[in-house]
A and B are shown apart, each in its own frame.
Chain A
Amino acid sequence: MSTLAKTPREIQSALTSYDLQKIRQDFPILHQKVHGKPLVYLDNAATTQKPLAVIEALENYYRCDNSNIHRGVHALSERATADYEKVRVAAQKFINAADSKEILFLRGTTEAINLVAQTYGRKNVTAGDEVLITAMEHHSNIVPWQMLCEEKGAKLRVAPINERGELLLDEFENLLNRKTKIVAVGHLSNALGTINPIKQIVKMAHALKVPVLVDGAQAAPRMQVDVQDLDCDFYAVSGHKMYAPTGIGFLYGKAQLLETMPPWQGGGDMIASVTFDKTIYNRLPYKFEAGTPNIADTIGLGAALEYLSGLGLEQIEEHEADLLGYATREVQTIPGVSIIGTANEKAGVLSLVMEDIHPHDIGTILDSEGIAVRTGHHCAQPVMQRFNIPATVRASFGLYNTREEVDALVRGIQKVREVMA
């Protein structure tokens, strides 16, 4: 996962085979001016732009194949069903799941975490039990657990982080105990960029037979994920953060766990048979996919996964590591700038603050230069509280960003000083 071990020559050789200009041609939205300046899109942790392959897959589906799935006997339904199910296999391969039935299509990471909280959680968490998360979680990996704990009279425990934004593993291990019923942890922090040591976390939790849910929203588009190697029990991702449409994502769950979980939403497709006396639920994965799913965007997700695999996750990881390293060095040359989140294992995200200048003002001035960044608490208010700041400016990189765009960011931040002086 770390690029630190790579020699400069290795990184260089990886980069030369990564044809950035060609890649940028795949993303029509990037080639526009904003306020008269070329768009510099550095808000990829919020959402990513879509390659032509995804846009065309959506259009093609609606032009040629649109139909409901899993029930029609006609040609269109057969095609739509086949294409939809192909994406399940693609998703399985993308994260190296053992079986495609372990992939549930959902709206995204938020819905996936809520599903686990409300099915596995409701069934297994009772009064006095504990749910363990970390201090760097996104609100979507806090609130569903808070809601569960409130309903059940259980307790939410939070493992602390250090000044660099790294999880204190010893403290985490100390918090694990026989009352812990589930661990929920982010793979890559959206506010700090920290990569968590998931394998170690899983090992510690499994020693006490506690299952682990991983919020993979930021990691899945940035590094090769292997759920069998991680040995996590659940892994949740959002398509729109991995160059696919909004409104689609998936949850990986180990089959033996998913089998024991009650269904979540009731409706069509999740049933085997229905009478007014009793309903027999469908097998996996359909037990968790009630109603007509988001077919078009699932097919769009399939195109995105193929696009990412085509470029190679390792290549993308190297490229973003180069950008993050370069940006980190350059930004630190600007007086008064501090980086929030300086973990040794880090990717994709550069959060910063400037003394005396509020992130919101920085964001407006950068926008006037055509530079899109996120300013605010990044749906991670507890992280902001941990560092005693109201907000940060966050530049987050994608597979299409360039060093020249980092230079534009640095010039933009220098301009902030001039405007606010």
Chain B
Amino acid sequence: MADVRELRDLYQEVILEHSKKPRNYGLLASANHKAEGFNPLCGDHYTVFVNLQGGAISEIAFQGAGCAISKASASMMTQSLKGKSKEEAEALFKRFHDLVTGHSRDTDALGKLAVFAGVSEFPLRVKCATLSWHAMRAALRGENEAVSTE
């Protein structure tokens, strides 16, 4: 599975930087949607807050704790989704999911999120990369309860 090159692909500088200094981190007081994501196997736990205005994400933030991959993914997700419609957010999640599970190498529509391509070499880490995305989707769908990766 993992050689040194693949390890570098996984822990890219951008990912490490976001994991250490996550963007849009903290409670979002104006949120009208939120949901929790929880991975019972490793204890990763995030809450995603969304302020949805007229079907578009006007603000998004997250807080919680987890590994470098899950935290960087949450951070970069919030950057990617600001201003997107619900439908665009769901479509982006699908593309992101296909990328990290190795179902697609097409990174055109993913922008900076393409740095997560390395996750596909680490099947056990897919749940880390998608945890906050699952929570985001649950928040948008109004499923105001904890989602679990198990």
Please tell me if B76 contacts chain A, counting CB pairs below 8 Å: no
Mask for B1-22, Cβ within 8 A of A = 1, else 0? 1111011101100001000100
Q: Is A358 part of the binding interface, using a Cβ–Cβ cutoff of 8 Å?
A: yes
Quick one: CB contact mask for A359-385 with B, threshold 8 Å, 1 for yes? 111001101100000011100010010
Is A5's beta carbon under 8 Å from chain B? no
A367 B2 Cβ-Cβ under 8 A: yes
CB-based contact A384/B43 at 8 Å = yes
Contact of B11 among A36, A367, A384, A420 (CB under 8 A): A420
Across the interface, do A376 and B41 meet the contact criterion of CB distance under 8 Å? yes
Residue of A nearest to B125 (CB): A364
Q: Which residues of B contact A365 (CB under 8 A)?
A: 7, 11
CA distance A367 to B122 in the complex (A): 11
**With A35-B2, A35-B3 in contact, is A364–B10 under 8 Å at CB?**
yes
- In contact, A361 and B6 (Cβ under 8 angstroms): no
Question: Which chain B positions have C-beta within 8 A of A361?
Answer: 11, 67-69
Min distance, Cβ A201 to any Cβ of chain B, angstroms: 29
Contact (Cβ within 8 A) B43 A377: yes
Check A360–B7 contact: CB distance below 8 A.
no
Interface residues on A, range: 20 to 34
* Inter-chain contact B42/A359, CB cutoff 8 Å: yes
Among A36, A364, A390, point to the contact of B45 (Cβ < 8 A). Answer: A390
Number of B interface residues, CB 8 Å? 25
Residues of A near B2 (CB, < 8 A) are: 35, 364, 367-368
Q: Is A419 an interface residue (CB 8 A)?
A: yes
Given A368-B3, A376-B41, A376-B43, answer yes or no on A420-B16 (Cβ-Cβ < 8 Å). yes
Give the distance in Å from the alpha carbon of A356 to the alpha carbon of B68 in the complex: 9
Find residues 15-69 in chain B having any chain A CB closer than 8 Å to their own CB. 16, 20, 41-45, 65-69
Counting CB contacts under 8 A, is B99 at the interface? Answer: no
Looking at B3, B16, B42, B45, which has the most chain A CB atoms within 10 Å of its CB? B42
The verdict on B128 contacting chain A, using a C-beta distance below 8 Å, is: yes
- Min distance, Cβ A113 to any Cβ of chain B, angstroms: 21
Partner of B1, one of A35, A357, A360, A381: A35
B108-137: contact bitstring with A at CB < 8 Å (1 yes, 0 no)?
Answer: 000000000000001011001000000000
CB distance from B7 to the nearest CB of A (A): 5
Asked if A391 CB lies within 8 Å of chain B CBs, one says yes
Chain A interface (Cβ < 8 Å from any Cβ of B): 35-36, 356-361, 364-365, 367-368, 375-377, 381, 384, 390-391, 419-421
9 interchain residue pairs of minimum CB distance? A390-B43, A358-B67, A360-B67, A368-B2, A391-B43, A361-B68, A368-B7, A360-B42, A361-B67
Given A361-B11, A364-B7, A365-B11, list of 19 further CB < 8 A pairs?
A358-B66, A358-B68, A360-B42, A360-B67, A361-B67, A364-B2, A364-B10, A364-B122, A364-B124, A365-B7, A367-B2, A375-B42, A376-B41, A376-B42, A381-B43, A384-B43, A419-B7, A419-B11, A420-B16
